[in-house]
Structure 1
Amino acid sequence: MVALSMVLVFLLILSRGESELDAKISSPEKATEWRDPEPSLQGSCQPASSCRECILSHPSCAWCKQLNFTASGLAEERRCARRQELLARGCPPGELEEPRGRLEVLQDQPLGPGTRGEGATQLAPQRLRVTLRPGEPQRLRVSFLRAEGYPVDLYYLMDLSYSMKDDLERVRQLGHALLLRLQEVTHSVRIGFGSFVDKTVLPFVSTVPSKLRHPCPTRLERCQPPFSFHHVLSLTGDAEAFEREVGRQSVSGNLDSPEGGFDAILQAALCQDYPSVGQVAQALSAANIQPIFAVTSATLPVYQELSKLIPKSAVGELSEDSSNVVQLIMDAYNSLSSTVTLEHSPLPPGVHISYESQCGDPEKRESEAGDRGQCNHVRTNQTVNFLVTLQATRCFSEPHLLKLRALGFSEELTVELHTLCDCNCGDTQPQAPHCSDGQGLLQCGVCSCAPGRLGRLCECSEAELSSPDLESGCRAPNGTGPLCSGKGRCHCGRCSCSGQSSGRLCECDDASCERHEGVLCGGFGRCRCGLCHCYANHTGRACECSGDTDSCISPDGNLCSGHGRCECNRCQCSDGHIGALCEQCPGCETSCERYRDCAECGAFGTGPLALNCSRACASANVTLTFAPILDDGWCKGRTLDNQLFFFLVEEEAKDKVVLRVRPQERVDHTQAIVLGCMGGIVAVGLGIVLAYRLSVEIYDRREYRRFEKERQQLNWKQDSNPLYRSAITTTVNPHFQEAGSPLL
């Protein structure tokens, strides 16, 4: 067995106040409300038959409880929509039912170091009440302060197998040295001691009685029988007691069985071992124990991998005689105490949680998201923050308690979770006069009719349903077609439209309008009968165009820098110009490109700057001339009416440019005409070849079909062939004897 020394560091955090997990939360009267800004809501809201069903369908849904809100023929399900849509349809803000989740701080003791580490507050807040609307996230901030001089309990658990014989004497001298080193970082230190050898049952060790009595290699050595675990010394601040109890210990033998077949069979059959790493990790976490594995170099890689499975654990390399164990423990302690890991207790069904860690200095803060919060290298008296997001996907009938804590510390944040799954409209009225003089229950603006009554306002009875007069109100004037256009139900002579249909006979589809970026009417209008009715300052088939032009104004005050037009509050640049404000012109660095538009608008009144020439080209002096072109310094302009003009930049200064524009010349199109004729001849030739090949293919296929048809109509005679003889097979049995034949 390889030498192994394992130390468990237990960081004891003094608790304050109630410690029971199911303790009552402080009374709501003393609570203060803490709200985050309204989260960003995306997605669509579908019609629902009740306010409860509405708010559970999507977090963006609201319900209008105004009486007679759907009097225009819409179904009561259309009371459920996004807030903006309901307001646009005339629902008063006071009649909107839009419950939102909330956070209430019940206890928030400020962070502080306390007195010499005693009574310090390291985790804040301490108690919260969180009400979750399904689908709507709620975010809370948890702060942790690493206090100085917090109490430390160290329990030294040592392997007393035979391979640790040389290390036992070194460990006897550890007590005083460990206490001195730990007292350098905290004022309250206690130390304890325990030991282990082997698990004395098959298949872990040999159970031969003689081996159990004398496990050492020779019987002359003082050696105690193997054992699983012995608790030797309780936590104490007395270093002499530690050294005295360790001095009484003696090693035992190595009885590990090399055959592990039974253990493997058990794992394969039951997926369970004794104990599993998961059980160890769960037990250590529940007891706030942070283990430090001190192992020799031979097993160091194995325990480094094991440490990844056990939260808040550390591994150190132990020298052969354990001489570095004090420094090893101090290094591991510093590493563990500077790592802050925030985790939670088991979540109730349907609740999801995520963490965002904010570590480091405020000006250099970095965030990391994950299923737990963790900050490394936290300095003493440094505060780190964790943003915890809670979201529910279902409702639960009673509150649930959720615990958040930093591993290794006993302080906890208790979160009382509630779900918001119903509306509190405040208008519940049995036998309401609004519901046909007491024929139904009024709740959230909707009548729930008494037995035997029907209709939006419970205005008719079941016996009247088959009346032709009532059905006539749900059909077209000519009496044909399905009731309510097949898109709703006829209740008491009035159509109750389903889905996104509307109109007196549900003839309109309010979900068939144009969409922009996947949103109906671009989110800037309402869909009515297949057409978008845009809100103010928006136009377009899908209300996608904004009437504003502020996004098109360039720094010089021009619209699209004078090189484009503004459409839907976006610049549509002219040829040769790019950029959000058409401010870029690749290749316009030369004078020719820079002043072409000014030359055209100044001389002819045309071009992109024709409407703004005086302001855009204020520094340009344009003169029309008939002078001939003498050199290559003239710039080529655009083609106007099949003619080309040239201009010359004679003088270019910071505030003045002189342009001389030459009369237009006709453009020679001879080359273009020749190339066009040649291309036409080639195209006609290819067309003739393709037509001939197609006609040949059609003719061949027709002849082949005629040949197949005639071949199938022939009647072949089925007479036998006189030259054909069938095969004759003769079989002779040598053992066969005819009757009367002598036997040989």
Structure 2
Amino acid sequence: MLPTDNLARHLACILGVLAVALTPCLAQSNICTDAKTCGECISLDPTCGWCTLEEYKKADGNSFPRCDLLNNLGQNGCTDISNPSSSSNKTKDEPLSNAGNIAESEAVQVKPQAIHLKLRPGQPTEITMQVRQAEDYPVDLYYVMDLSKSMEDDLNNLKQLGTTLAEEMKAITSNFRLGFGSFVDKTVMPYVSTVPSKLIHPCPGCEAPYGFKNILPLNLDTDLFTNIVGVQNASGNLDAPEGGLDALMQVTVCTSEIGWRKQARHLVIFTTDAPFHYAGDGKLGGIVTPNDGSCHLNLNGDYTQSTILDYPSIGQLNAKMQENSIIPIFAVTYTEFGIYSNLTQYIEAATAGILAVDSSNVVDLVKENYNKITSKVEVVDNAPENITVAYTAHCLRGQVLPGSRECSGLKLGDTVNFTLSVTATSCSEQRIQTFTVRPIGFNEDLVVTVEVVCECDCEAQKVMNSDKCSMGNGTLECGSCTCNQGRYGEDCECSGNDADLGDNDLSCRAGNSSIVCSGRGSCVCGQCVCFQRPDPTQQVSGAHCECDNFSCDRYKGELCGGPDRGVCVCDEKTKRSKCNCKPGFEGDACECSTRLDTCRASNGLICNGFGVCNCGKCECNVTTPYRGERCEECPACPGKCEVNKDCVECKQFGQGLSEEQCDRCPYPVIPVKELPSDEQSERCLYHNDKDCSVLFTYQTLENGTFILLVQEEPVCPVPVNSAFIIIGIVVGIIIIGLILLFIWRLLTYIHDSREFARFEKDRAQAKWDQSENPIYKPSTSTYKNPLYGK
């Protein structure tokens, strides 16, 4: 039979009628009671504690579980509980400061600089990290240029760039250095012609081909930049892609040869009109040795391993750029913009801009991309697998973004905070681990030293072969006995050789079950000893062997979604195995991400404010017309032409929206001389305040980036002068009158001429006779006197 106390508890659990009995019931079913040692107990869950009292028994003489919920330990009368907690200690915490004069101390942009954490597994500790982009911070700008023949006209414009660029950068920093290098490609077939004469002059007026040259290390003298660039000539090669990644690798890793300063922002302007070769392409020229990511520049600045080492991979280049805090800006022609825009997705902090055909807009691109880089702060970490870091960004104007690592819309001198919740998910072989948290593009970071607390202090005071463990049959550790091999029981009182070892198996049955140890163990000295499985990583656990670490739900074929998402543990409340998800994941199989940045729309709102983020994906509100991945698509809303025209007007022409509103425009506006003739792209037209017609279109690149292309010059009507119109009308009327008069006079003349000709003709044909006119009457009358002559 069950002891009276245990029977009462079981009855209370089954009937559920006595509220006072419910707490002891729950105390018997919790995640803590399965732990066998103090270290295992505190590693199991932060709510667990270990009672170190040697005498910790019930009224009937049976022992309470030493590892239990903290509330249960107190209720059961334990006065000595081992319950370590996480803590933090700043070991270096210098205040933020600007760069100031060159002679002054270096700027501090990250605070604190070092911190030491003691972490109990599963118990998070919050630390606050401040980041400020210092004003007047030094800038090192290295210009690396494709000098193949097609870039010859760009070189001519670059010769005037040094002074202009320096003047523009002075508005940003007083400490600016400029360098220059160029590249073509590997000097082997099929990249360049290996005909001896072509290796000297590949084209008329061209230099011999080469891989990469460090022509001018970073220097304060911008006039020297202009002079050196002025004597450079283009070269030539055969295939379309160039050896740009070779050049970028050398620029990145040759820190002393290039002249990179530790305390400076490192920018690389990469200009080309062609795509790039990458790892594996070297096989075309018989080059199979992988790129070693090391510096190979000789005293003349030439890359000596160009024909020996393969091109670097994109991942390898990205790792080196992160290590040396290099920020690349790809200034490329419109035809290659899509390729390099995709490349920026795989290189940290990289940006891309469209280069004019003759590179005349390089200075504008540098300023635009520098502002883009400095207007945003994003932090990353390299925490080990058993350490998770959850972020909350505290940006300007009191904006709090849980789950976000990024703040945007910043200016130099603005300070933002990030709250980091650091959690140790498990113990590691290394007791002390170190990782860094750094803002992207900065050469400063926060060094976090983590000491995972996986042992209790009392474990260092253990007594081997203690008399309290059945006269030396075990080790007294933290108040309980750890039995020697072959010994069992609370005080190691049982031996594996005892004949009646498994006779009393009532306590080895779960509830009313007739199965001993759930069929997955044997009852030894009144306790279940679970069977070992063939796979040592699979373990059966629980007071009645009812749990295991391999029967949890699976996601994509992996237990609890894999070790990065969660682990399978025993839930003593349900007597079932369940997934214990790591921070950042949730769900029965840890299949759902709790991150919100995957749901953040381009305007910074979660699901554009028209949906909820569930499992890392947006579920748009059915009562709104918004749809799409982030609830940004709205077929019934005003078209993209109407929505984006204000941003086009302010970004391209500096009119319309205020500067603050313009900075919040989500999409890049790229000027082009002519819009692409793509039938699938909608052409947008609007009239500005000057009644000029502005043409623009929009495109979505392969990497999902949405861009706006605007025609550089708007079509404006020619201004009309009213005086000229009036004078023109009057003169027109006079001229028309004179023309009509002339026509009338001409017609009259023709008509009279015809009549006169007809008259002359008739006169010439007239015939005259001598007959008298019968109607003629003479002027005198003759009368004959009838009487005359008689």
Task: Confirm or deny: 8 A CA contact 2:481 2:492 kept in the other structure.
Answer: yes
**Partner residue in 2 for 1:302:** 339
Does structure 1 retain, via aligned residues, the 8 Å contact 2:99–2:136? no
Q: Does 1:186 align with 2:173?
A: yes
| 1:133 positional shift | 2.6
| Equivalent position to 1:389, from 421, 424, 436 | 421
Q: Secondary structure of 1:457's match?
A: coil
Match of 1:249 in 2: 232
Say if 2:97 is the partner of 1:112.
yes
Change over 3 Å in CA distance of 1:351–1:484 after alignment to 2: closer
* Cα distance in structure 2, aligned partners of 1:382 and 1:460: 69
Q: 2:490 aligns to what?
A: 456
* Equivalent position of 1:366 in the other structure: 400
2:457 matched to which residue of 1? 424
- Report the secondary structure of 1:425's partner residue: helix
Deviations 1:141-189 (A, max 9, x none): 2110121100001111111111111121211111111111111111111
- The match for 1:447 is 481
Q: Per-residue deviation at 1:232?
A: 0.5
CA distance in 2, matches of 1:497, 1:325: 76
Kept in 2, the 8 Å contact 1:425–1:444? The answer is yes
In 1, the alpha carbon distance for the partners of 2:228 and 2:241 equals 33
Output the TM-score relative to the length of structure 2: 0.50
Q: 1:356 to 1:201 in 2, by over 3 A?
A: farther
Match for residue 82 of structure 2? Answer: 97
Q: Does the residue aligned with 2:194 lie in a helix, a strand or coil?
A: coil
Counterpart of 1:341 (choices 378, 385, 394) is 378
Whole-Å separation in 2 of the counterparts to 1:306 and 1:472: 70
- Residue type matched to 1:328 in 2? L
Q: 2:329·2:352 contact (CA, 8 Å) conserved in 1?
A: yes
Displacement after TM superposition at 1:298 (Å): 2.1
For residues 108-140 of structure 1, the C-alpha deviation after alignment (integer angstroms, 9 at most, x for no partner) is 112232534852211011111123333333332
- Are the equivalent residues in 1 in contact too, given 2:187–2:211 (CA < 8 A)? yes
Query: Partner letter of residue 410 of structure 1?
Result: N
Tell whether the 8 Å contact from 1:293 to 1:303 is kept in structure 2 after alignment: yes
**Partner Cα distance (2:234, 2:36) in 1:** 77
Distance 1:73 1:445, change over 3 A: farther
Q: Distance in 2 between matches of 1:290 and 1:188?
A: 18
CA distance in 2, matches of 1:257, 1:223: 17
Is residue 167 from structure 1 mapped to residue 154 from structure 2 by the alignment?
A: yes
1:331 paired residue number: 368
SS at match of 1:252: coil
Deviations 1:89-115 (A, max 9, x none): x133x4212222322211111223253
Aligned residue for 1:361, secondary structure, equals helix
8 A contact 1:456–1:491 mirrored in 2: no
Q: Cα offset for 1:436?
A: 5.0
Aligned twin of 2:386: 350
What pairs with 1:22-421 in structure 2 (closer than 5 Å)?
A: 44-71=31-58, 78-88=65-75, 90-92=76-78, 94-113=79-98, 115-116=100-101, 118-216=105-203, 221-256=204-239, 274-345=311-382, 347-362=383-398, 365-369=399-403, 373-398=405-430, 399-421=432-454
User: SS of the counterpart of 1:81?
Assistant: strand
Letter in 2 for 1:105: K
Q: CA deviation at 1:307?
A: 1.7
Paired letter, 2:116: R
Separation in structure 1 between the aligned mates of residue 375 and residue 477 of structure 2, nearest angstrom: 57
The alpha-carbon distance between structure 1 residues 109 and 52, as it changes in their structure 2 partners (threshold 3 A), is: same
Change (3 A) 1:421 1:262: closer
Q: Which amino acid aligns with 1:314?
A: T
| 8 Å CA contact 1:355, 1:369 repeated in 2 | yes
Distance 1:108 1:74 in 2: 55
> What is the CA–CA distance in structure 1 between the aligned matches of 2:489 and 2:174, rounded to whole Å?
78
Whole-angstrom CA distance in 2 between matches of 1:76 and 1:177: 83
Per-residue CA deviations over 1:591-643 (Å, capped at 9, x if unaligned) read xxxxxxxxxxxxxxxxxxxxxxxxxxxxxxxxxxxxxxxxxxxxxxxxxxxxx
Q: One-letter code of the match for 1:441?
A: T
Compute the displacement of 1:377 (Å): 2.1
Instruction: Give, as a single letter, the amino acid of the residue that structure 2 aligns with 1:186.
Output: T
The answer as to whether partners of 2:507 and 2:527 remain within 8 angstroms in 1 is no
SS in 1 for 2:65: helix
Structure-2 residue corresponding to 1:517: none
Instruction: Please report how far the alpha carbon of residue 74 of structure 1 lies from its aligned counterpart in structure 2 after TM superposition.
Output: 8.7
Mapping of residues 623-662 of structure 1, within 5 Å: none
Cα shift readout 1:566-595 (whole Å, capped 9, x = no counterpart): xxxxxxxxxxxxxxxxxxxxxxxxxxxxxx
Q: In structure 1, how many angstroms separate the alpha carbons of the residues matched to 2:313 and 2:435?
A: 26
SS in 2 for 1:78: coil
Give runs of aligned pairs for residues 541-620 of structure 1, distance below 5 A.
none
Identity over aligned pairs, percent = 36
* Matched residue SS, 2:457: coil
Residues 171 and 413 of structure 1: is their aligned pair in 2 closer, same or farther, counting only changes over 3 Å?
Answer: same
Q: Structure 1 residue 484: deviation in Å? A: 10
The answer as to whether partners of 1:439 and 1:458 remain within 8 angstroms in 2 is: yes
Task: Give the TM-score of the pair, scaled to structure 1.
Answer: 0.53
CA–CA distance in 1 between the matches of 2:165 and 2:150?
23
> Would the aligned equivalents of 1:47 and 1:77 in 2 still touch at CA under 8 Å?
no
- Contact 2:96 2:111 (8 Å CA) reproduced: yes
Q: Deviations over 1:371-407 (max 9, x none)?
A: xx22222222211112223333332233222122222
In the alignment, which residue of structure 2 is the partner of 1:595? none
Residue identity opposite 1:378 in structure 2: L
Shift of 1:71: 4.9
**Unaligned runs of at least 5 residues, structure 1:** 1-41, 500-507, 512-525, 528-744
Q: Distance in 2 between matches of 1:310 and 1:211?
A: 35
1:209 aligned partner, one-letter code: P
Give the count of matched residue pairs.
444
Report the residue type matching 1:325 in the other structure.
Answer: V
Code of the aligned partner of 2:438: R
C-alpha spacing 1:191/1:484, structure 2 compared with 1 (3 Å):
closer
1:175 to 1:434, Cα distance in 2 relative to 1, 3 A: same
In the aligned structure 1, how far is the partner of 2:156 from the partner of 2:30? Answer: 70
**Counterparts of 1:232 and 1:258 in 2: how far apart (Å)?**
22
Q: Which runs of 5+ in 2 are unaligned?
A: 1-28, 243-276, 292-309, 531-542, 547-571, 574-790
1:287-311 deviation digits (Å, cap 9, x = unpaired): 1111111112222222222222222
CA distance in 2, matches of 1:327, 1:176: 14
Question: RMSD of aligned C-alpha atoms?
Answer: 4.1
